[in-house]
Copies of this chain bind each other. A is one copy, B any other.
Amino acid sequence: MATIYDVARRAGVSITTVSRVLNGGNVRAKTREAVERAIAELNYVPNAAARTLPSGVSRIVAVVVPDISNPFYSELVRGVQDVCDRASYGVMIWSTDGRAAKEASCLLELSKQRVDGVLMVRYLADQSVFRLFKSLEIPLVVVGRAPDEPAADSVGTFGTGKALRALIAPLVAGGRRRLAHLAGPEEAVVGMIRRQQYDAILRHFGLEARPEWVADGGFTREGGRKAARKLLAAADRPDMVFAANDMMAIGLIEAAEELGVRIPGDVAVVGCDDIYVAGLLRPALSSVRMPKYELGQRGAELLLERIANPSVPTRHVELEVTPVARESTMIREE
């Protein structure tokens, strides 16, 4: 049976280089090809010795996200992967559905597996699982800091309230007064924050607050569609909707089409996140652009720094968001 030495000999490289190729490290394309060819030709199976080369360190980080099928998180993970690729770290992804039990079991697994650090997208407002994470003493970076949580490196955003006001102001100037909210779940930090931003917008423009204009769409497209059906079928139909994320806004666009409600003619729509399809939808969706890729990128950088030097002081990075006005808010003055 072929060994890593045979592979190295055939490829004309050192075993460290073979190991680096196997671990996804930085190797010139030509060298990588030679090593991969040697692996294939020798039908080489890495053995235990090879597995722990070069240093016995796993060089794996884990990313914990609530929902990998939401492009927000897959764009964020892309940023993590690009940074980790360059540093020869592998990335393991866990998608928890935003459920405490899944977060907890994921934490348990991470404590058993050999993982060098964790990038956790904070989802639940409840802190019990998060505290478990902290107590593991694995290097940890949090995306989306909640103000009350224990100290940990974090990457977050600022400016969402301002961006929302910029998108809603022309609608109010055009005569719209009835602003509804497609909300995230109450147990989610971001759901809570968006709801506060919605309330702040109502106050800012002196708009009426009505309980029936707030519907929980669970942050998913399907949930957004169901919640939007209720909002759009109400007797006193809202003429603007702020959706706490774009996936729910997509559900709203579908519901509007089903019900023959025109966007923005009857109802203007503002999403949040600016996922990659927002500009391609019919109508193109106005949204608040979250720096998704950069959140992952900066988060991974902080994490790798923390892994390299555990005694670095705690850092908090905040990235600015920007409003993106598209067709779904382009009304003529009424």
Contact = CB atoms under 8 A, between A and B. Distances in A.
Interface in A114-173: 114, 126-128, 131-132, 135-136
Interface stretch (A97-105, A175-183, A207-215, A313-321): A97-105
The residue in A21, A97, A99, A104 that gathers the most chain B C-beta atoms within 10 A of its C-beta is A104
A39 to B, nearest CB: 5
A109 interface: yes
A239 interface: no
Contacts of A97: 81, 85
Given A104-B39, A108-B51, A221 B95 contact: no
A197 interface: no
A277 B69 CA distance: 12
A273 interface: no
Nearest to A78: B69
B95 A93 contact: yes
A90 interface: yes
A276 interface: yes
B90 A92 contact: no
A280 B250 contact: yes
A259 to B, nearest CB: 16
B281 A100 contact: no
Interface string A11-33: 00000000001111001000010
A131 B128 CA distance: 43
A280 B128 CA distance: 39
B109 A93 contact: no
B60 A68 contact: no
Contact of A106 (B77, B90, B104, B109): B90
Nearest to A50: B108
Given A24-B105, A281-B281, A114 B112 contact: yes
Contact of A95 (B36, B75, B91, B135): B91
A274 interface: no
Interface size class of A (residues with CB under 8 A): 35 or more
A81 B58 contact: no
Contacts of A126: 36, 40
Contacts of A127: 40
A196 interface: no
Contacts of A45: 132, 135-136
A18 to B, nearest CB: 10
Given A113-B114, A126-B40, A108 B68 contact: no
A114 to B, nearest CB: 7
A253 B24 CA distance: 34
B282 A108 contact: no
A112 B58 contact: yes
A74 interface: yes
A32 B101 contact: yes
A108 B77 contact: no
18 contacts: A21-B104, A22-B101, A36-B100, A36-B101, A36-B104, A39-B128, A40-B126, A46-B108, A50-B108, A51-B111, A58-B109, A60-B109, A68-B74, A90-B109, A93-B93, A93-B95, A113-B114, A253-B280
